[in-house]
Structures are given as structure tokens and as C-alpha cells.
Amino acid sequence: MTMKRREFLTGSVAAGAAAMVRGADAQASAKGAKEFYQLRRYQLKTGPQLKLTEDYFGVLIPALNKMGMSPVGAFRLTIGPDTPAYYLLIPSTSVEALATVDLRLGRDETFVKAADAFWNAPAGAPAFARVESWLLSAFEGWPRVTPPSTTATKAKRMFQLRTYESPSMRDHVRKVEMFHSGEFEFFKSAGAELVFFGDTLVGSHAPSLTYMLSFPDTAHLEADWSVFSSDPKWTKLKADPRFGFEEIVSNISNLMLAPLGVSQL
């Protein structure tokens, strides 16, 4: 393959990807409010990395807010595999903004200076072990991240982050339909506070969806889930032939998170 042809193909792929991003952004803008999310997991080691990362979030979140990304959630994993780990939820109505956020931050001299200890950590004393990211598209029926009522007063609260994997694209689509067929309302009736619901666009374990609920404490979580599980409307929905023809969820990840002091959720 000649150099010119390689350059042409590379340019064509890049142009196509950019067009897809612009198309997704335009579609979201046309609908008015639908968000996309970048969900990040910072895998850490016990010791200095914990404070270093939380301090970094204290610099990062205001910088993201200046870009129009708000509210940003920052959480510590309390129950789940591979602790310690922190999670960051970044909302935006623009896919492109989420895809280029680190490049834009790197051009902000004020931010880079304030974030120096984390941003420029040496290889001998890294700020984190690894960072994993997912790009999610908000459900049409829950198009924006919603802070729980306890956020405003900084009252005690906990978060449950759940991921449902499906064995096929058909089953994944059916599970998303279940939420829009009453599952949102069943959660609210049971007492849970709904934070976000997202379809995985880019990331591991696809096809999958991820959502977050909030509760005052573990006792409320267990009680609310008991109410949800015994709701006759939920039982009827599960038995509906559209959704009950087979196991449409093949694996569930269930994590418990606590908000960090800098979290806006």
C-alpha cells in the first residue's frame, strides 16, 4: 500500500469517526436534554495514592464544571472487588467533549499547575495503578443525572452501582425496554432515589447497561429492595412474554459506593 493511500484511508477513518461523534452530539442537542457519561474507575494502592487522588478530584471537578460538565460524582468503593478504588461520573450532552476532556485539560495551564502532584506524578511513585473508562448513553426515560435529595444537605447517603450484562443484543434491548415499561416507577415507589441509567457504548462487558441508585444507609437499601422485589407490578412485568421468554440478564455486577467529600452527588 502506498503512503498516499495509507494517508487517505487514515484520514477517511478519522473523518468518519468525527462525523459519527458530531452526529451523536447533534442528535442529543436536538432532543434537548439527553446526556452521555464517562464513568471512570481509578484502581489504587493503599497509601499515599488515596489522598493524592482525592485531592486531585478537588481540582479536577471545578475544571470540569467550567467545561459545562456538572454535577460530577466522586466515590470510594466500599463493597466490591479490587479495593481500594475510586469512581468518577462525568456527565455531558456532548460525546466529543467527553472524548477530548483530558486533551483539553492538558492545555489549561492553570489546571495543570494546580493538579501537578497527580498529573505529573513520577513513574517511581505513580498516582494510580490503572484507570478504566466506560462511555454510556443515558436512557431516554431517564435522560439526565439526578442528585439524590440528601446531596444538598450533605446528609448521610450511599450509592449502589449495578451493571447488567446480557447474552445477546436482543436481550440487552429487551432489558432496556423493561426499565421504560415500569421499572423506573417501581424503584421510586419502593423508596430508592434514582441517579442515572446508561447504555454502554464503549467499554468492557458489552452488551450491558449500568445504573445507580441512592439510599440513606444499608438498612434502607435492604428494605427498599424488599419492597421492590415483592411489588405485584414488578412480578407481572417479569412474567410478560416480551421479557420472560429467557434469562435476558446473564451477569450482574453490584457495587457499593460512598461519596467523597468533593462529590457533587
- The number of distinct structural domains making up the chain is 1
68, part of any domain? yes
126, part of any domain? yes
| pLDDT for residue 169 | 97
Q: How far apart are CA 205 and CA 214, in angstroms?
A: 24
Expressed as residue numbers, the domain containing 131 is 33-140+149-259
| Positions in the chain short of pLDDT 70 | 1-32
pTM as predicted: 0.87
17, part of any domain? no
Q: Which three cell numbers stand for residue 147?
A: 442528585
109, part of any domain? yes
CATH number, domain of 66, equals 3.30.70.100
1, part of any domain? no
| pLDDT for residue 32 | 57
20, part of any domain? no
Nearest to 242 by CA among 172, 186, 178: 178
**pLDDT tens column, 114-157:** 999 999 999 999 999 999 999 999 999 999 999 999 999 989 99
| pLDDT for residue 190 | 97
23, part of any domain? no
**pLDDT tens column, 164-183:** 999 999 999 999 999 999 99
238, part of any domain? yes
